[in-house]
Amino acid sequence: MKRLSPMIALAVMAMAPPLAAQDISGVFDMGLLTGDAAMDPVIEQSREMAIRQGEADPLPDRARATAHPLAGNLAQNFSATTEPVPAAALGQLTYRPSPAVREANFARFVERSRAADPQGAEKLAQALRSTDVMAAAEREMAPMGLSTSNVADASAVYLGNAWLLLNGETDDPPAPVMQALRDQLARAMIATPEFAAADDATKQELAEAMIIHAILIAQYTEMARANPDMLPAVQDAVAAGVRGTLGLELRGKTLDERGLR
């Protein structure tokens, strides 16, 4: 592969070590990073382990962990479009970054990820301490006309990374393609009432979780290149993560100047 995504340079931070295929699923659960998982992540991970081992679901009447509720209704408003989103509308999805909020977000991301992967959580903590992740992401995204301070832009990078992995693509989408994907996400977010009431802290939490997951997808794709037997498990885990996060299915979809379709 030449490159995996607009975020590939960040993958060298080694945010998580290689995991056995059966242990990957929880890594890509956005609900474990954001503050509104459906249940305590330790309980959810124990439940996932039981199911992977062939046991019955120990909590069949309880909802599975999902992503932030703001993302829950997005899929029904997501559709192909060739019309760019006006700058004023995009402004609704922009936030003013707060260092204090970022510090709290990163601490929460690390703590919640411990349930899925304790070793990976420690490496994540080290990477976040040693690297200005969001500044690096901003540099990577700028040539695409995207910014970390817009939740639709951040979500486009996450979705773009996932699409590349799930569809076996090897080249970065050009800037017009990434902007078309961003516009699709922005239009869907603007049409989702929960986003209208979202404050800057909520937008920042979602955007930063998307960036972290984009990096993780890039790194696990690199791991799968070195260990092809791992690829199906990584693809399945990422596909499940996208469905749980944004309610979208990416396999077999086209991504071009008209967006995802």
Establish if 169 belongs to a structural domain. Answer: yes
Q: Is residue 116 a contact partner of residue 237, using CB atoms and an 8 Å limit?
A: no
Establish if 188 belongs to a structural domain. Answer: yes
> Quick one: pLDDT at residue 233?
85
Establish if 58 belongs to a structural domain. Answer: no
The phi and psi torsions of 232 (rounded to 5 degrees) equal -60, -40
Range of the domain at 228: 24-52+65-260
- How large is the angle between the packed helices 118-130 and 99-113, nearest 10 degrees? 160
Confidence band of 56 (pLDDT split at 50, 70, 90)? low
Q: Please list the residues that pair with 94 across neighbouring strands.
A: 150
pLDDT single digits (tens) 136-151: 899 889 999 999 999 9
Establish if 17 belongs to a structural domain. Answer: no
Instruction: Report the b/e string of 103-137 with b at 16+ CB within 10 A.
Output: eebbebbbebbbbbbeebbebbbebbeeeebbebb
Establish if 12 belongs to a structural domain. Answer: no
- Is residue 17 over pLDDT 50? no
- The alpha-carbon radius of gyration of the chain (Å, integer) is 17
Choice among 69-83, 146-160, 216-230, 245-259 with the minimum mean pLDDT: 69-83
Greater confidence (41 vs 211) lies with: 211
Average pLDDT for 241-258: 87
Count: domains in the chain:
1
Greater confidence (201 vs 31) lies with: 201
pLDDT single digits (tens) 105-145: 888 888 877 766 677 777 778 888 888 889 989 988 999 99
Q: Is residue 93 a contact partner of residue 152, using CB atoms and an 8 Å limit?
A: yes
pLDDT single digits (tens) 149-195: 999 999 999 999 999 999 988 788 899 999 999 999 998 888 887 77
Q: What's the distance, CA 81 to chain centroid?
A: 22
- Is residue 54 over pLDDT 90? no
Choice among 66-80, 81-95, 175-189 with the minimum mean pLDDT: 66-80
- Is residue 255 over pLDDT 90? yes
DSSP annotation string for 17-79:
----GGG-GGGG-GGGTSTT-SS-HHHHHHHHHHHHTTPPPS-TTSPPP---HHHHTSGGG--
Average pLDDT for 239-251: 85
- Quickly list H helices, 69-199: 69-72, 87-91, 99-113, 118-130, 133-141, 151-166, 175-190, 193-196
Sign of CA dihedral 41, 43, 44, 48: positive
The phi and psi torsions of 255 (rounded to 5 degrees) equal -125, 115
DSSP annotation string for 187-223:
HHHHTSHHHHT--HHHHHHHHHHHHHHHHHHHHHHHH
Establish if 15 belongs to a structural domain. Answer: no
Average pLDDT for 209-222: 85
Confidence band of 67 (pLDDT split at 50, 70, 90)? very low
SS3 255: strand
- Is residue 198 over pLDDT 60? yes
Q: Give the Cα separation of 170 and 256 in Å (integer).
A: 14
Establish if 157 belongs to a structural domain. Answer: yes
Establish if 60 belongs to a structural domain. Answer: no
Confidence band of 36 (pLDDT split at 50, 70, 90)? very low
CB atoms within 10 A of CB 20: 8
The pTM is what?
0.78
